[in-house]
Amino acid sequence: MLTRRALALLLLGPVLLAFLDVWSGMGIVAAGVFGLAVLAVVVDLALAPRARALSVTRAHEPYLTIGLSNDIGLRIETRATRPTQLIVRDEVPDEFELRRPILDSADVWPIEPGEAVRRGPIPVRPGQTVTLRYRVIPPRRGDYGFGAVTIRARGPLKLASRQHRYAIGATVKVFPNLLDTRKYDLLSRKGRLQELGLRRRRALGEGEFESLRDYQIDDSPRRIDWRATARRGKLTVRQLQTERSQNIVAVLDCGRLMDAPAWQEPPATLRRRMELRKLDAAVNAALMLGFVAGQRGDRVGALAFSDRVLKYIEPKTGRGQFYRLLNSLYDVQAETIESDYTRAFAYLSAQQRRRALIVVFTDLSSGLAARQLVARLAPFKQRHLTLLVTISDPSMVRLAQSTGSGEREVHERLAAQQMLEERQRLLDFVAENGILTLDVPADALSISVVNRYLDLKSRQVI
């Protein structure tokens, strides 16, 4: 492949022919110049690094995270014996949003969504290793494929270059945002969970005896052990351990309603608003719930459904269960069909015989949908404790509370108020039928679900 310098040199001969009328010997000179230019291009192409003189590897985390900037690195090792210049092009998934590449000594090509990453020309010395880095933001969970890396290596005269294609395509998994679980793990070790928004609760009721300790001012007098108090000479209470190995099942609705935007505010690392879907927020919350419940010794499982059962993970204990949940739920996607509550809960009823906390992540669009959901959950009330979790829209609340006086603003405010009132009536109807409800924005969903779980567990109603 020829460079602009080579094209200019090759065109010099034909240009000299324009002066043939001025001097008859100009034709010989033009032919000589053109011949030398061709020879230089051929020699430069022969000296350009061949494919085996370069090796390319792509490096990134074992999985990428939805909605966040993820670093991708291209490591290029050269075994060429002469200096060269490289132009590098990497094929990234079309769905990914790209950030500007990072390399101090290289030019930066403008990048638009759906385009490949292209960098160069990059000067490389013999035996040098160059690492190119850029960032991608995956908009959806699931499996995505990187393509090949194409490199143009120039000859020492910069007249011609060889183009090599390195087939290092690979599939990468895009996982839900596990930032909250990492924060929880870190803060729990330091005893500072309140910084994450979790409220501390003392278990109530009767549990299993664990130990004796000194009386504290907020302890109930009913928990005083009078025999131990007489023996020790100071007030002593029984330390009770909350029952462990309870069953928690997260039920994820993957129907069309969960494909709506969650209107979640972007992380500080993003420059624009990321319209994550309601199902994305629900998966994040389900995994956070599984992580916290697993650390407390409870058995955690999950079920995902649309018009059929998509995934079912049997409730189990242990740290490995969280990773089973993660690997099973990371690629569930909302489908443009109506959800079949009857089939989903019939399947769950057959699988889950022991009492459990059933956390249903869904949305309600009409009174008919609410009545159908209540009818399907009614058999669960005798054996299980059911919590219905829906995602509210803060922008709708702001619109309902707006004070604009224009005709359009008034109509929008009234419409928003009617929608909020209808939604509240549906939630009240569900609650009146003995089903717990939780309706919060997407950015507060994970913490709110965990707080409700901890509250129910502390009151020993699971």
Which parts of the chain have pLDDT scores under 70? 20-22, 99-120, 183-211, 217-220, 239-244, 263-275, 366-367
Q: What is the pLDDT of residue 269?
A: 43
- 116 DSSP assignment: P
Q: Which residues pair with 359 in a beta bridge?
A: 250, 387
Residues of the chain with CATH 2.60.40.10: 51-175
Class of domain 51-175: mainly beta
Contacts of 243-246 with CB under 8 Å at 24 or more apart are 243/207, 243/208, 243/460, 244/296, 244/297, 244/298, 245/297, 245/298, 245/299, 245/317, 246/298, 246/299, 246/355, 246/356, 246/357, 246/457, 246/462
Range 273-276, long-range pairs (CB < 8 A, 24+ positions): 274/67, 274/137, 274/139, 276/66, 276/67, 276/442
Output the 3-class SS for 211-276. Answer: EEEECCCCCCHHHECHHHHHHHCCCEEEEEECCCCCEEEEEEECCHHHHCECCCCCCCCCCCCCCC
Spatial separation of the C-alpha atoms in residues 172 and 161, rounded to whole Å: 32
Tokens 């992540």 belong to 361
Residue listed under structure tokens 């089973």: 324
Report pLDDT for 301.
Answer: 96
328-375 per-position pLDDT tens digit: 999 999 999 999 999 999 999 999 989 999 999 998 876 677 788 888
CATH number of 247-458: 3.40.50.410
What pTM, to 2 d.p., does this model score?
0.74
Q: What local confidence, expressed as pLDDT, does residue 240 receive?
A: 62
Tell me what pLDDT residue 219 has. 67
How many other C-beta atoms can be found within 10 angstroms of the C-beta atom of residue 456? Answer: 18
Burial class from Cβ neighbours inside 10 Å (0-12, 13-18, 19+) for residue 189 reads exposed
Domain boundaries for CATH 3.40.50.410 within the chain: 247-458
Cα 33 versus chain centre, distance: 60
